[in-house]
Chain A
Amino acid sequence: MEINNTFDPIDIAISGLHAQGKNIHMISSNVANAQVTDNGKGEPYRRVEAVFKSTEDDGLGGVTIDKIVTDSSEFPMILKPGHPDADANGYVAMPNIDLPIEMMNLTIATRVYQANVAVLKRYQKMIEVALELLK
Chain B
Amino acid sequence: MSKTNNIIDFLDAGIKAESFRQKTIANNIANLETPDYRRYDVKFEELLAQAIDRSGKADLSEVKSELYQPKTTEVKGNGNDVNLESEVGQMVKNTIRHKMFIRLLSKKYRQLIEAINVK
Contacts and interface: CB of A to CB of B under 8 A. Distances in A.
Interface of A: 6-7, 10-11, 13-14, 17-18, 21, 120, 124, 127-128, 131, 134-135
30 contacts: A6-B96, A7-B93, A7-B96, A10-B89, A10-B93, A11-B89, A13-B89, A14-B85, A14-B86, A14-B88, A14-B89, A17-B85, A17-B88, A17-B89, A18-B83, A18-B85, A18-B86, A21-B85, A124-B92, A124-B96, A128-B96, A128-B99, A131-B96, A131-B99, A131-B100, A131-B103, A134-B103, A134-B107, A135-B103, A135-B107
Interface of B: 83, 85-86, 88-89, 92-93, 96, 99-100, 103-104, 107
Given A134-B104, A135-B103, A127 B96 contact: yes
Nearest to A18: B85
A126 to B, nearest CB: 10
Contacts, number: 36
Contacts of A6: 96
Contacts of B86: 14, 18
A7 to B, nearest CB: 5
B3 to A, nearest CB: 27
Contacts of A18: 83, 85-86
- What DSSP secondary structure best describes chain A's contact surface? helix
Contacts of A7: 93, 96
Contacts of A120: 89, 92
Contacts of B85: 14, 17-18, 21
B99 A10 contact: no
A121 to B, nearest CB: 9
A10 B39 CA distance: 19
Given A6-B96, A13-B89, 17 more contacts: A10-B89, A10-B93, A14-B86, A14-B88, A14-B89, A17-B85, A17-B88, A17-B89, A18-B83, A21-B85, A120-B89, A124-B92, A124-B96, A128-B96, A134-B100, A134-B104, A135-B103
